[in-house]
Amino acid sequence: MNLAQSLLTALKDHGARQVFGIPGDFVLQFFKVVEESGILPLHTLSHEPSVGFAADAAARISCAPGVAVVTYGAGALNMVNPVAAAYAEKSPLVVISGAPGSHEGRAGLLLHHQVKRLDSQFEIYREITCDQALLDDPARAPGRIARVLRSCIEQSRPVYLELPRDRVFDQCSPVQRLPETGFDPEAVSACADEIMERIESASRPVMMVGVEVRRFGIESRVEELARRLHLPVVTSFMGRGLLAGSQVPVLGTYLGLTAHPDVGRPVEESDCLLLFGVTMSDTNFGVSEGRVNYRNSILAVDRSVSMGFHRYGNIPLAAVVDELVRRVSERPSRAEGRATEYPRRLEADDEPIAPVDIAKAVNDLFARMGRMPVASDCGDCLFTSFEIENTEIVAPGYYASMGFGVPAALGVQAATGKRPLVLVGDGAFQMTGWELGNCRRYGWDPIVIVMNNLSWEMLRVFQPESKFNTLEDWHFADVAAALGGDGVRVTTRRELAAALERAAATRGRFQLIEAMIPTGAVSPTLGGFVGALKRRQRQ
Ligand code: TPW
Ligand code: MG
């Protein structure tokens, strides 16, 4: 087999299910192998940021590596922001970039797409990925690929592979998957003992689950643990959507006291907060305004466990959860706390649409037709998505990059075959909404709700006096037909309900609902959240 086939086969063996990309002359040969070998299906999109977001979302939703293939320079550097986002939000994304052939730099001429040195791109990617390799030697390539893919999965972070174009067809042996990195079972056992002691001596233990629980595929084991311990469970902001299908009632998502006090209070009053796979970020905790007691908390994240004044290193989250489950015997299950009540039953009248009406309309739809996976962008749509029933969701909850929603939905449908629902603002839709034009040829048919408030409204909440936050009316619904979908603009709650009903009943074409929301009508959660972040800035 050749190097490209060896790489594609290794990706498949490590769980990748498709490739997203945009070709260029430095990567044409690799694309040829992708297409002709059929080892993994290829989906091309229109702009590299979308390639990164789609591959990232495919990784998030399927808990397996997502693959983004781009050309050297203009392609790869165009994808820096999505890869940085995947790094920050711990998504196992494999970036493959073509590169000049091994001897091309020798003529002394600068090569097109070259920035400063030929390896500038490699250096840039070193900063935003957890492992990297140059595949310039077919004898060493299998070992390097194996190492990099193991890092990708174990750290659940992006990795970078650079493939010079003259190496693609070199003979190469298959990649042997490496065993998992070891750990000391006695350390895990001691750590689990100490966690148990702390839980048992606490009177109000609470479990908060974060994004690593999903990334490492241990939702059901964490659920089992929560059930046996009779612990109330909340998710972090980034962990939204976790335990969506579980038997354990999830109280809701912790957003400080801004959204649901029934979720905020148990967290802030807990004397033993178990933080499993939770990122200690301002979006997760800045909103707590100092009310979370970290001194009493136990943090298991990034392959380590911290409690009190000490830290256990090299403790995989899955290993410690398994040890804990083993220490707690089966007890009759009991619902702990009340799960969040989500808004429902949209009043289908002639009133204008508020963000919460979108949540109500979606909850009503889910109640009738079952839940759909949700892809959300950043902006008030993200806070609106938190008012939607707990369902699988991909969203830029921490790194907060706009432009994620639409391409992420394409990644979700490609990876799962399930029809996604997209929530996106007009500003973010201006960035990557065009990608919907790629739905037709792949048979994707997301339902897209553009919350059009003619504004970068979240920024207006931060700084109301600035006029630059006002956006033009682009009439997004009108372009849907040209892109191969159906579009409708709605301004009343009655029209919204009808449009969503019609969209759900129409399969095979993307459905764009442009929901006009009066400028200034933001969700209460957004207002509370921005207020908390502003207070933090001033501290
Ligand atoms: C890639 C900064 C955060 S929120 C926002 C901006 C520009 C406005 C979003 O407007 P939209 O939603 O989509 O209409 P809404 O509800 O606020 O009206 N560039 C990138 N990412 C971010 N986060 C920004 C800028 C930003
Ligand atoms: Mg807007």
Domain ranges, residue 289: 185-327
Closest CA to 307 of 315, 298, 320: 298
Amino acid letter for position 494: R
Residue 466 lies in a domain: yes
Q: Which atom of ligand 1 is nearest to the CA of 428?
A: 13
Q: Do residues 203 and 61 share a domain? A: no
Best of 89, 380, 426, 458 to mutate for ligand 1, by most ligand atoms within 8 A of CB?
458
Q: What is the pLDDT of residue 180?
A: 94
Ligand sitting nearest the alpha carbon of 529: 1
Q: Do residues 51 and 138 share a domain? A: yes
Distance 428 CA to ligand 1 centre (A): 6
Q: What is the pLDDT of residue 111?
A: 76
Distance 517 CA to ligand 1 centre (A): 16
Phi, psi of 80 (to 5 degrees): -60, -45
Distance 378 CA to ligand 1 centre (A): 6
Distance 335 CA to ligand 2 centre (A): 39
Scan for tokens 């807990």, then name that residue: 270
Ligand sitting nearest the alpha carbon of 526: 1
Tens of pLDDT, residues 163-172: 999 999 999 9
Q: Do residues 34 and 159 share a domain? A: yes
Distance 472 CA to ligand 1 centre (A): 15
Q: Which atom of ligand 1 is nearest to the CA of 452?
A: 14
Q: Do residues 367 and 306 share a domain? A: no
Q: Closest residue (by CA) to atom 25 of ligand 1?
A: 402
Residue 319 lies in a domain: yes
Q: Do residues 301 and 227 share a domain? A: yes
Distance 334 CA to ligand 1 centre (A): 42
Residue 244 lies in a domain: yes
Q: Do residues 13 and 147 share a domain? A: yes
Q: Closest residue (by CA) to atom 10 of ligand 1?
A: 456
Cβ atoms of 91 and 158 closer than 8 Å: yes
CATH of the domain at 192: 3.40.50.1220
Amino acid letter for position 295: R
What value does the CA radius of gyration of the chain take, rounded to a whole number of Å? 24
Amino acid letter for position 306: S
Query: Which of 327, 344, 370 corresponds to the end of one domain?
Result: 327
Distance 473 CA to ligand 2 centre (A): 11
Q: Which atom of ligand 1 is nearest to the CA of 426?
A: 14
Residue 333 lies in a domain: no
Q: Do residues 301 and 363 share a domain? A: no
Residue 300 lies in a domain: yes
pLDDT < 70 stretches in the chain: 257-259, 286-290, 332-337, 539
Q: Do residues 376 and 515 share a domain? A: yes
Residue 169 lies in a domain: no
Which residues neighbour 38 within 8 Å (Cβ) at sequence distance 6 or greater? none
Residue 523 lies in a domain: yes
CATH of the domain at 494: 3.40.50.970
Distance 426 CA to ligand 1 centre (A): 9
Which residues neighbour 390 within 8 Å (Cβ) at sequence distance 6 or greater? 241, 243, 244, 250
Ligand sitting nearest the alpha carbon of 378: 1
Residue 170 lies in a domain: no
Question: What is the number of domains present in the chain?
Answer: 3
Best of 429, 456, 517 to mutate for ligand 1, by most ligand atoms within 8 A of CB?
456
Best of 356, 406, 459 to mutate for ligand 1, by most ligand atoms within 8 A of CB?
459
Q: Do residues 506 and 389 share a domain? A: yes
Cβ atoms of 147 and 179 closer than 8 Å: no
Q: Do residues 415 and 449 share a domain? A: yes
Query: Which of 309, 327, 345 corresponds to the end of one domain?
Result: 327
Q: What is the pLDDT of residue 286?
A: 63
Q: Do residues 52 and 110 share a domain? A: yes
Which residues form ligand 1's pocket by a CB distance below 6 Å? 378-381, 400-403, 425-428, 451, 453, 455-459
Query: Which of 327, 344, 379 corresponds to the end of one domain?
Result: 327
Q: What is the pLDDT of residue 339?
A: 73
Q: Do residues 361 and 257 share a domain? A: no
